[in-house]
Amino acid sequence: MHPRPVRAFALALLAVTVAAGLASAARPLPMYVIAAARLDAANLAPGKTVQAFCDGYLAGQGSAFAYQGLSYVALDVQGDDPEAAGRDGCREGERVCFTAGGFFAAEHTIWHEGSSLGSWAAPFSLTASSAPAAPIPPALAIARDGTNVRLTWQHTAPNTAYQLWQGTTPYFNPGGPKTALLAAPAAPNPCGTLSQTTPAAFGDPNANTFYLVYISGGNDAWAVSNRTGVFSFAIQPGN
């Protein structure tokens, strides 16, 4: 083969390799958010920070500024770089939670790569309060994981602490007879998914187990999630 075609082929192969390397290292496109923020029923003070989180990880932030009688903020909510060490952003379909001036906002959204939320004419509304608020019961989900069950729920502000309890009857009282505290995980502020895996006896009517989450919030208030469990019953002959 002539040297010139060989060099051309080598350069073309190098270009393809470099392009493929650059493509694989590309960070996901961020979600762009334009929001109007309020704290304690008033516009967020200019210069105060609005932050966006996914699963407890800071994914974006911006400073508030006055515009057309509102307090606006524009920020990129970054995606998680799959090639970076550790977590540094949101993943597709994850919940995005916000703080305004350091306090949890009531609103949230779902992260999608390259999407946008709000506009200058119609901003996404963020409302936060510095006052303690009552806890919000989460939806406790259960799934089989081999010989175990995996219990999951979404953390939401203003919840501050959780206790996952197990009992042997559907309507057990936490701390009562035949109950056990399985976990007391820390809240991944301001939002995120919590989960716990625990052994379970499948197909044994004498070993039914039920679960709930006890939640604390502002002013030492408590709330209780839905109840779920693993239960079986024996089939009686003739029935």
**Smallest Cα–Cα separation from 199: which of 144, 128, 153, 120?**
144
- Mean pLDDT over residues 215-227, rounded? 87
pLDDT band at 32 (very low <50, low <70, confident <90, very high): very high
pLDDT band at 238 (very low <50, low <70, confident <90, very high): low
- The helix (run of H) or strand (run of E) holding residue 176 is none
Higher pLDDT, 235 or 28: 28
Is there a contact between 178 and 164 (Cβ–Cβ < 8 Å)? no
Q: Which two tokens stand for residue 138?
A: 């989460």
DSSP 204: -
The dihedrals phi and psi of 220, each to the nearest 5 degrees, come to 60, 25
Confidence check: pLDDT of 9 > 60: no
Which amino acid does the sequence have at 19?
A
Task: Enumerate residues 6+ apart whose C-beta is below 8 A from 18.
Answer: none
In the chain, where are the structural domains located? 31-128, 141-230
Q: For position 158, what pLDDT does the model report?
A: 82
Distance CA 154, CA 193 (A): 5
The lowest-confidence range among 44-53, 57-66, 154-163, 186-195 is: 186-195
Q: For position 134, what pLDDT does the model report?
A: 86
**Smallest Cα–Cα separation from 158: which of 186, 195, 131?**
131
Give the DSSP letter string of 116-172: EE--SSSPEEEEE-SS---------EEEEETTEEEEEEEEETT--EEEEEEESSTTP
Q: Which two tokens stand for residue 111?
A: 């992260």
Give me the chain's average pLDDT, please.
87
pLDDT tens-digit readout, 60-84: 999 999 999 999 999 999 999 988 8
The CATH homologous superfamily for domain 141-230 is: Immunoglobulins (2.60.40.10)
Q: Which two tokens stand for residue 85?
A: 């060490």
The lowest-confidence range among 9-13, 85-89, 224-228 is: 9-13
Portion of the chain with pLDDT greater than 90, in percent: 65
Q: For position 23, what pLDDT does the model report?
A: 46
